[in-house]
Amino acid sequence: MIRVDDAAGDRRWPKWSEAATQLGVRSALSAPLLAGGEKIGAIKLYALQAGRFDEHAEQVMVLFARQAAILLTTTRDLANARALSRRLTDALADRDVVSQAAGVLLGRGAPDREVAFAELVAAAERSGRSVREVAVELLATVTADDADSSPV
């Protein structure tokens, strides 16, 4: 917790004090936002009057900062979880597309899944595209006749 009672007379941060005073700020209160020992930011209050903040204001600020840190951390964690879920869903979809394309190559004569996958990887490297993109393109070439001749 940092409290500045009068920016005009505070010498801890001379450049800040000068700039704050020029803006009319005379007192300030700053509380760290801590979550699990990690500093995630700070919350600050400024006043135009000197001596505006006291020990009671500090106590209230600490309580508010604790709750704000919990809210911010929870929001960040939720956003991270949603992003991970999207990435996992995309990865599963990519895996399915690649697996289907490998199946097409097996149907066209590849001796096993490893060889079929290696063919997809080689085609991706030659074309400078991803394996998924090559697999999607291959699946787009599968005609209705190919699907009808499938044993499945």
DSSP 5: S
Provide, rounded to the nearest whole percent, the portion of the chain with pLDDT above 90: 85
Q: Label residue 149 by pLDDT band (50, 70, 90).
A: low
How many other CB atoms are there within 10 angstroms of residue 4's CB atom? 25
pLDDT in tens, 86-120: 999 988 989 999 999 999 999 999 999 999 999 99
Prediction pTM value: 0.61
pLDDT of residue 151: 53
pLDDT of residue 96: 92
Indicate if the pLDDT at residue 72 is higher than 60: yes
Can you list the domains of the chain with their CATH numbers? 2-79 (3.30.450.40), 81-148 (1.10.10)
Distance, C-alpha 22 to centroid of its chain: 38
- DSSP helix/strand/coil, 51: coil
Residue type at 90? D
